[in-house]
Amino acid sequence: MGFLTRKKMMSIMALGAMIGLLLLPIAVSLPALTSGGVAFAEDGKEDGKKDEAKVEKGRDVYYKTEGIVVGAPAPVTTDGPKDYPRYNFESRVLLWFANQQHLYYGSFVLAVPIFCMVVEFMGVVTKDKALAKRYDQLAYDFIKISLTAYSLTAVLGGILIFTFLTLYPAFFGYLSSIFRPVMHIYALMFVAESGTLYIYYYGWDKMKEGFLKWIHLSMSVILNIIGTLLMFLANSWIGFMMSPAGVDEQGRFLGNIWHVLHTALWNPLNLHRILGNMAFGGGVVAAYAAYKFLASKTDEERAHYDWMGYIAMALGVAFLIPLPFAGYWLMREVYAYRQQMGITLMGGLLAWLFIIQATMIGILFLSTNYYLWQAMGRMRGAEKYQRYIKYLVFLLACGYLVFITPHTMVMTPAELKAMGGQQHPVLGNYGVMSAKNGGINVIITTTVLSFVWYMRGNKVSTVSWAKFGNIFMGCFFFFAYINIVGLAIYGYYIPANVRVGLSVPQVATTLSCLFFMFALNSIMMKGAKQTGAIEWGKISARSQYALIMLATAFTWMMGLMGYIRSSVRLFWHVNEIMRDNSPWAYTHTVGFAANMISFNVLFFWISILFVFWLGSLAAKKAPVEAKAAVPGSAPQPAASH
């Protein structure tokens, strides 16, 4: 008892010390943050009293507030070895590669601990002891995968910094002069993240029961808070490059670091990235599970990895569903910030990349639906839905085709003449936003419907109002489709300034289906009669390829969207503040960009396979006791979803 108390005390003290260490960098830098660069001003004071007399003021380019100039203007670069030293290769491509790989790994190691936290929490609150153990083992498997990737993320971060320093010294010097206080916080938080992660991982066995388990779980919360803050700080740099604030028109820092961080696009970027990271992380873990499933030799292994793949996919898709809406908000803010920037993205130079993006988004949702339909095969009783799947395929195909239809095509004069204009007389109507909003909302609503069917696949509701519930649910989905398509058609008959608002009720309709129908289904299925158990592991191999497809498509899309977001600055390092005068300040062709993205995707997957292989080496050395915890010869990882 005394030992336990001491253990508890030690745990609380360790947690307190960790929180204290976490807050330390913020507390240390608080004076600098609140005074808005007092450090800079004090440096100036040391030069003599005459500097005090020459206090220069500038106007914030975004907030339009006045502030004392405390920074140097953005350097005017020239093409040469001083500002753009280079190898005999395009520097931008090298930076692109380093940046993309760091982002892939960074996203992965930020997302996986969030999954870990969720799954570990599920394990802690689940009353079924065997299931709790399975959840705990799954969370441990997740963190084990991310641990090796974490080291690689740090290495890639180092490579990225060196690439910046050696190939773009003037630009990086300027950026680090603006973000000096937060860059230190970033570095210190990275140390805190590493420390917490290692304690979290290596303390797993020591803190597996009772109160200590809650302490362990709290550590995962702290770990994720640090990770998220790290990402927010990194996002502020790209937000500043796209939509600078806190500086005057010459790029001189005006002393308010919060303005520099809180740019017009910071919050939309934060939301978009956190959702994107989660969906990406889910995809990668699902692909890992799929690979392990396909390579499995025993039924036990197949059951475990089938379950793991399903959980990872479900968590990933839970964040994929709201992702297009977050993207829509980001684009809306881009338009609000600079209309020309929005037009360049979606109606100009980069518009074709958005068609590719639409294609990839469609593939993600098609893969998800296909996996769910295949997954229904492992539960007895779900056969009743099989004959209706063709209707879902029809809805998805219609939504997808509308979603990917371009507004205009590149054509020869003869083709143009044959078609009677730049736009096709029929298909051209689908190339506008009104139709595309309808298309994507139909796709997402259908995915929600597939999930609802999957969740009730092997169950029959026993609540007294089950008949009404089923009819109501059917009606709700039917009228949701009518509303989405109706609003899309209605958009053609009203002016653009009214039409643009229709996207909000369309999104609300889809989200209503997601939240209300999931909730209603859960209530109806409480205490439901099972028509058969879920036979984990008894799923087609095709479904696992769908998971791999999902992850690959997501990786490709992430690379594409990163390229689009970065390219929209055109010939600016920092939009309208610091011009890019290197020989590579032009936009690549779509073909080159696609090849480059594919190369990055290929490199990431080859390297992550190496990481998985390293992880499997550690698994082979795992104690027999851990393996023995798997109950039964043909285990059922979870009785329900």
Partner 1 sequence: MGQTIFYALVSVVICVAYFLAVDHFLMDAQGLDFWYMFRK
List residues near partner 1 by CB under 8 A.
Answer: 467-468, 471-472, 474-476, 478-480, 482-483, 487, 490, 493-495, 497-498, 501-502, 504-505, 508-509, 512
The single-letter DSSP state of residue 428 is G
Other Cβ atoms less than 10 A from the Cβ of 523: the count is: 12
Residue 221 vs 471, nearer CB to partner 1: 471
For residues 602 and 307, give the distance between their C-alpha atoms in angstroms, rounded to a whole number.
27
Least distance CB 488 / partner 1 (angstroms): 12
Residue 214 vs 478, nearer CB to partner 1: 478
Token reading at 112: 């996986």
Least distance CB 505 / partner 1 (angstroms): 4
Answer yes or no: are the C-beta atoms of 89 and 167 closer than 8 Å.
no
| β-strand pairing of 529-530 with 459-460 | antiparallel
For residues 414 and 397, give the distance between their C-alpha atoms in angstroms, rounded to a whole number.
30
Residues in the chain: 641
Token reading at 393: 């395929």
Least distance CB 433 / partner 1 (angstroms): 15
Residue 252 vs 456, nearer CB to partner 1: 456
Answer yes or no: are the C-beta atoms of 641 and 454 closer than 8 Å.
yes
The single-letter DSSP state of residue 517 is I
For residues 487 and 489, give the distance between their C-alpha atoms in angstroms, rounded to a whole number.
5
Token reading at 265: 């696009």
For residues 321 and 332, give the distance between their C-alpha atoms in angstroms, rounded to a whole number.
18
Q: Looking up tokens 């610091």, which residue turns up?
A: 578
The single-letter DSSP state of residue 588 is P
Residue 476 vs 518, nearer CB to partner 1: 476
Q: Which residues, including other chains, have CB under 8 Å from residue 214's CB and lie 6 or more apart?
A: 124
Residue 151 vs 470, nearer CB to partner 1: 470
Answer yes or no: are the C-beta atoms of 203 and 18 closer than 8 Å.
no
Answer yes or no: are the C-beta atoms of 311 and 136 closer than 8 Å.
no
Residue 132 vs 463, nearer CB to partner 1: 463
For residues 167 and 158, give the distance between their C-alpha atoms in angstroms, rounded to a whole number.
14
Residue 336 vs 619, nearer CB to partner 1: 336
Least distance CB 299 / partner 1 (angstroms): 44
Least distance CB 156 / partner 1 (angstroms): 43
Least distance CB 482 / partner 1 (angstroms): 8
Least distance CB 460 / partner 1 (angstroms): 18
Answer yes or no: are the C-beta atoms of 378 and 539 closer than 8 Å.
yes
Residue 496 vs 626, nearer CB to partner 1: 496
Least distance CB 445 / partner 1 (angstroms): 12
Least distance CB 459 / partner 1 (angstroms): 20
Residue 258 vs 468, nearer CB to partner 1: 468
Rg (C-alpha) for the chain, rounded Å, is: 27
Residue 198 vs 479, nearer CB to partner 1: 479
DSSP 285-346: HHHHHHHHHHH--SHHHHHHHHHHHHHHHHHHHHHHTTHHHHHHHHHHHHHHH-HHHHHHHH
Least distance CB 502 / partner 1 (angstroms): 7
